[in-house]
């Protein structure tokens, strides 16, 4: 594919989405498998989500993002799709999904769904046909098959561990397939599409139209930076051991298992932008203000901003903000650069602290800055300080919600859920665990089924008490039932912060930094002050007026006048000067 990329002209193109709903939206990620199970089989389902629409409405979110619900062998928790136009039977029926969309829309909540365009399941009808067809056939051209008689076509590694090339002959048993391979950047059961093939383009154009017609308001694009590979598929500089598994088998293994970055000829190629321009044209034909948000793990904020130019995506996840950790200087740098880079192309910034692929921030932020949590946390790893982690998580979220742009929440973070860090190895289901020779614990710890009640075998998650992943001890104390109406609870904090954010229109505002001590961030967004203390000592904010909301518990609240910001705390303030929040009223 030849890119028509022209950075300057694309950056300056006028936007027609300046009043779009998603510019300041709070969007809540639902991982259906773990949200709620209505039929008792231990796996979350659509009816389970419908039973808790009231929880989402009370939380005050603008939209939900549903992680994959398509038919799938579940090798990678639904990101191995075998049919892009149906619902997995364990989740329900298309009619169930239609009813959920209607329920959410009635509650004023929009619906965003996951789109998985980099790869399919090996059980997809196209890939099964490709294995049945001959080498160099049109069926195989929909995927990336290559021949080489002296080993794999190149040195690329899978992001799930091991090489990224799978031999074909063992799958077909045919001698004509000897020395043929197919590419899989993830599990071997997730073959990569060939985006030079027109069938692939038409398939996903049809996908977009199909789901918009069913009432979907937006799409989260999985591996948005990976669809197009460099011409000729040259070797990269990293090689096949992307999780340093070989290094981790030495004496200092735990320290050496850091995942290598998503860079090289398999990622962030200019041709991906032509695809997103194509999709934007399709979406503009079938709807208004349809959201596209990129999951693009790219090196810099400037790289991410290229995905959200006027004729491409709407938003891109701000992963630099997520990985900035408990570091005031780095947080400020990311905020400044993000607002500048996204602003240059007329797009809103986004902010996110947790999702289904990373350690929950109520645990992650409890660790020292040099602790790498990318591999996940297992029972043999140092365990987080739960109290410290929750205090920092509450503060980080309150600070995040005070920033202009759109904010993403991950199910359960409104309850203060920590990572399940003591899960037994036998219970793990993430393919990372097996494909890294049982070195990388993986992502199961953030995907544990939610607690809804204080008691019961599964704390209200399932009607039978069954859960597809085990819940840790004490899970029920995080449930909505345990927190409802309790002053100072994390659930109460989230509800109040989201409501106040909307009332003061902070998502449409701006950032003006104010003078603060080292380790403290203090900004004005209109007439709202937003403060974060990342230090271990209290800090006084002089001249502040009324405290609007705090991350710390009510017994420690101050009053009008100077505010004492406790260690690991955040607050919003009514500032004595400054313009109205959020700019001009709509």
Q: Which residues 6+ apart lie within 8 Å of 196 measured at CB? A: 1
- In the prediction, which pLDDT does 46 show? 98
- In the prediction, which pLDDT does 559 show? 53
d(CA 143, CA 197): 8
d(CA 111, CA 290): 10
Q: Which residues 6+ apart lie within 8 Å of 427 measured at CB? A: 444, 469, 470
- In the prediction, which pLDDT does 534 show? 98
- In the prediction, which pLDDT does 8 show? 45
DSSP string, 120-138: --TTSHHHHHHHHSPTT-T
118 φ/ψ sector (left φ>0, alpha ψ -120 to 50, else beta): alpha
- In the prediction, which pLDDT does 2 show? 39
- In the prediction, which pLDDT does 5 show? 47
- In the prediction, which pLDDT does 579 show? 60
- Three state DSSP letters for 149-165: CCCCCCCCECCCCCECE
Q: Which of 360, 439, 430, 447 is nearest to 186 (CA)?
A: 430
Residues 166, 182: contact at Cβ < 8 Å?
yes
pLDDT in tens, 553-576: 864 444 556 889 999 999 999 987
Burial class (CB in 10 A: 0-12, 13-18, 19+), 258: middle
pLDDT in tens, 418-436: 999 999 999 999 998 998 8
- In the prediction, which pLDDT does 71 show? 98
Q: Which residues 6+ apart lie within 8 Å of 187 measured at CB? A: 75, 76, 80, 158, 160, 431, 435
The residues assigned a catalytic role are 222, 285
Q: Which of 462, 471, 380, 467 is nearest to 418 (CA)?
A: 471
d(CA 303, CA 316): 10
Residues 405, 350: contact at Cβ < 8 Å?
yes
Q: Which of 267, 228, 263 is nearest to 2 (CA)?
A: 228
- In the prediction, which pLDDT does 252 show? 45
Burial class (CB in 10 A: 0-12, 13-18, 19+), 422: middle
Residue identified by tokens 């309850």 is 415
Strand (E) or helix (H) holding 396:
helix 386-401
pLDDT block averages, 10 residues each, the chain of length 586: 46 81 98 98 98 98 98 96 98 98 98 98 98 98 97 95 96 98 97 98 98 98 98 92 61 49 90 98 97 95 96 97 96 98 98 97 95 93 97 98 98 98 96 90 97 97 97 98 95 98 98 96 97 96 85 63 91 80 47
């Amino acid at each position: 594919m030849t890119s028509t990329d022209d950075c300057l002209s694309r950056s300056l193109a006028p936007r027609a989405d300046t009043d779009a709903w998603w510019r300041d939206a709070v969007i809540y990620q639902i991982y259906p498998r773990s949200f709620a199970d209505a039929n008792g089989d231990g796996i979350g389902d659509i009816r389970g989500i419908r039973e808790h629409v009231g929880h989402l409405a009370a939380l005050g979110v603008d939209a939900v993002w549903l992680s994959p619900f398509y038919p799938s062998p579940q090798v990678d928790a639904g990101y191995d799709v075998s049919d892009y136009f149906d619902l997995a039977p364990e989740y329900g029926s298309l009619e169930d999904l239609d009813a959920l969309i209607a329920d959410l829309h009635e509650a004023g909540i929009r619906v965003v769904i996951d789109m998985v365009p980099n790869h399919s399941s090996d059980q997809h009808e196209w890939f099964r046909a490709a294995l049945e067809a001959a080498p160099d056939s049109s069926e195989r051209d929909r995927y990336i098959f290559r021949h080489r008689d002296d080993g794999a076509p190149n040195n690329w590694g899978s992001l799930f561990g091991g090489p990224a090339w799978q031999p074909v002959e063992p799958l077909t048993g045919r001698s004509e397939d000897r020395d043929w391979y197919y590419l899989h950047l993830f599990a071997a059961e997730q073959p990569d599409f060939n985006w030079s093939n027109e069938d692939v383009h038409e398939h996903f154009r049809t996908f977009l139209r199909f789901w918009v017609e069913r009432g979907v308001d937006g799409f989260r694009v999985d591996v948005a930076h990976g669809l197009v590979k460099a011409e000729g598929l040259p070797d990269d500089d990293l090689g096949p051991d992307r999780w340093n598994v070989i290094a981790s088998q030495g004496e200092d293994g735990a320290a050496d298992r850091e995942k290598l970055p998503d860079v090289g000829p398999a990622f962030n190629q200019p041709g991906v932008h032509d695809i997103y321009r194509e999709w934007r044209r399709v979406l503009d034909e079938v709807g208004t203000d349809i959201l596209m948000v990129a999951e693009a793990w790219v090196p810099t904020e400037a790289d991410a901003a290229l995905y959200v130019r006027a004729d491409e995506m709407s938003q891109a996840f701000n992963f630099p903000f997520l990985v900035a950790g408990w570091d005031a200087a780095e947080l400020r740098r990311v905020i400044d650069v993000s607002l500048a880079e996204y602003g240059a192309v007329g797009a809103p910034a986004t902010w996110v602290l947790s999702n289904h692929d990373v350690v929950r921030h109520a645990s992650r932020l409890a660790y020292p800055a040099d602790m790498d949590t990318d591999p996940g946390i297992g029972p043999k790893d140092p365990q987080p300080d739960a109290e410290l982690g929750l205090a920092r998580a509450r503060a980080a979220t309150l600070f995040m919600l005070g920033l202009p742009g759109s904010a993403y929440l991950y199910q359960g973070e409104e309850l203060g859920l920590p990572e399940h860090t003591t899960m037994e190895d036998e219970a793990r289901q993430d393919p990372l665990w097996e494909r890294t020779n049982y070195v990388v614990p993986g992502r199961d710890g953030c995907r544990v089924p939610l607690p809804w009640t204080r008691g019961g075998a599964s704390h209200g998650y399932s009607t039978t008490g069954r859960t597809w992943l085990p819940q840790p001890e004490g899970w029920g104390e995080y449930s909505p039932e345990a927190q409802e109406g309790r002053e100072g609870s994390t659930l109460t904090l989230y509800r109040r912060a989201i409501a106040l954010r909307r009332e003061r229109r902070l998502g449409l505002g701006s950032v003006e930094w104010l003078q603060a001590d080292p380790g403290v961030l203090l900004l004005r967004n209109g007439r709202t002050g937003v403060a974060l203390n990342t230090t271990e000592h209290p800090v006084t904010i002089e001249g502040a007026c009324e405290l609007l909301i705090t991350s710390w518990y009510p017994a420690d609240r101050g009053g009008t006048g100077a505010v004492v910001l406790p260690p690991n705390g955040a607050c919003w303030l009514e500032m004595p000067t400054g313009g109205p929040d959020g700019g001009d009223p709509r």
